[in-house]
Amino acid sequence: MFDIEIKRSARKSLLNLPKSYQDKIIKVIDHFMEEPYPQGCKKLRKDNSLFAYRVGDYRIIYRVYQDELLVMVIDIAHRKDVYD
């Protein structure tokens, strides 16, 4: 079982999203505790431990620390803004 840590900026971004997306994203993040590499996650090219997961038009950017059993959510943003 993995621990979940959400950066302050990601938490703030999450709270600014529409409520319907907040609920969906929270469910996905909770699921990362059991499966940090769910079907549909994409490894980002810049870093082997960085992943993106799509929830509608939004993306969850997160890093997996396999040795520490930790998933850190780094960013949650609209797909047009998240990769900048």
- Give the DSSP letter string of 11-45: HHHHHTS-HHHHHHHHHHHHHTTT-SS-TT-EE-T
CATH topology for 3-82?
YaeB-like fold (3.30.2310)
Other C-beta atoms closer than 10 Å to the C-beta of 59 total 22
Q: Which sequence spans correspond to the domains of the chain? A: 3-82
Read off the pTM. 0.90
54-70 per-position pLDDT tens digit: 999 999 999 999 999 99
Tokens representing 44 are 């980002």
Q: Give the integer Cα–Cα distance in Å for 6 and 74.
A: 7
Is pLDDT at 83 greater than 70 in this prediction?
no
Cβ-contact 78, 57 below 8 angstroms = yes
